[in-house]
């Protein structure tokens, strides 16, 4: 839906929508919520913090800083 409902952006044709859908598949999938430290974009640098990390607000803020 995020790829389809893009108002005022640079997504202008079917090829752009296909590209953005492919990119968003990394971020919008069941593993994001089910797998601790899920790696985004195949990188260890960009991960979804584990449930233990983001249960504490201060720890999470330190993690993202």
Q: Which string of DSSP letters, residue by residue, matches 1-63?
A: -TTT---SSS--SHHHHHHHHHHHTTTSSTHHHHSTTPBSTT-SSSBPPPHHHHTSHHHHHHH
User: What pLDDT is attached to residue 64?
Assistant: 82
pLDDT tens per residue across all 65 residues of the chain: 676 676 667 777 888 888 888 888 877 888 888 888 888 877 778 888 776 655 677 777 788 88
User: What pLDDT is attached to residue 23?
Assistant: 83
Domain ranges of the chain: 14-64
User: What pLDDT is attached to residue 46?
Assistant: 84
């Amino acid at each position: 839906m995020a790829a389809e409902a893009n108002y005022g952006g640079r997504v202008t044709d079917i090829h752009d929508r296909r590209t953005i859908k492919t990119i968003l598949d990394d971020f919008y999938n069941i593993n994001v919520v089910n797998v601790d430290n899920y790696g985004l974009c195949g990188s260890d640098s960009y991960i979804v913090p584990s449930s233990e990390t983001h249960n504490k607000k201060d720890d999470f803020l330190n993690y993202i800083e």
